[in-house]
Amino acid sequence: MNQDIIKIRWHGRGGQGAITAAKIVANAAFVSGFSGVVMAPTFGTERRGAPVLTSLQISRQKIYDLSPITQPDMVVVLDHLIIEEVDVTAGLKSGGLVIINSTEKPEFFDFKNMTVATADVTHIAANAGLPRGIVNTGIIGAFAKASGLIGMDILTRAIEDEFTGKHPEKNSLAARATYEKTLVGGK
């Protein structure tokens, strides 16, 4: 318990690849020296298209409590429409970070005492050559820019390792291009 754990909750839709995104960040975090990494998808009855969430905890030490996180430090939202269906900031710590795939600027979102970061991942990823709607690698670039937790070079490698044989370069390009275009708002 006497340890610093960074807790990140990922919101997406079933089939959108939020789990894969969290897994890529988990791998990159481990390579960056976070020896404690735990990624836990929600358990139960996922359906394609329905809102799903995945929790990722990273720490410099081994993590022993595998319970689902209730008070994240940051949340990542792969589809801005989920905000209308799910309270994505539930339990989010004051001053926490909300990273959203959206065409809007951060100021558009009214989350009290939170930092909002946005990027039009859907558009950027399509420009990188990915089929339209594939956003789970692009959003990693927004996460990297807004959180500053893990370097883009390590994340690029983690993305390409995950997508060996499935457009590794296009996926990592989507992340790097999103990194450049992510807007981070004030508190």
Binds another protein by CB under 8 A, chosen from 6, 14, 32, 41? 41
| Interaction of residue 35 with another protein, rule CB under 8 A | yes
Residue among 43 and 112 whose Cβ is closer to another protein: 43
- Per rule CB under 8 A, is residue 68 in the interface with another protein? yes
What is the biggest distance separating any 2 CA atoms in the chain, rounded to whole angstroms? 45
With CB under 8 A as the contact rule, the residue among 33, 44, 165, 186 that binds another protein is 44
CB 177, min distance to another protein, A? 26
The interaxial angle of helices 152-162 and 138-147, nearest 10 deg, is: 160
Residue 80 structure tokens = 């801005």
Decide: is 39 part of the binding site for another protein (CB under 8 A). yes
| Residue 61 near another protein by CB under 8 A | no
DSSP string, 25-83: HHHHHHHTT--EEEEEEPPS---BTSEEEEEEEEESS-----SPPSS-SEEEES-GGGG
Residue length of the chain: 187
Query: Does 164 participate in binding another protein (rule CB under 8 A)?
Result: no
Q: Which residues bind another protein (CB under 8 A)?
A: 1-2, 23, 26-27, 30, 35, 37-41, 43-44, 63-68
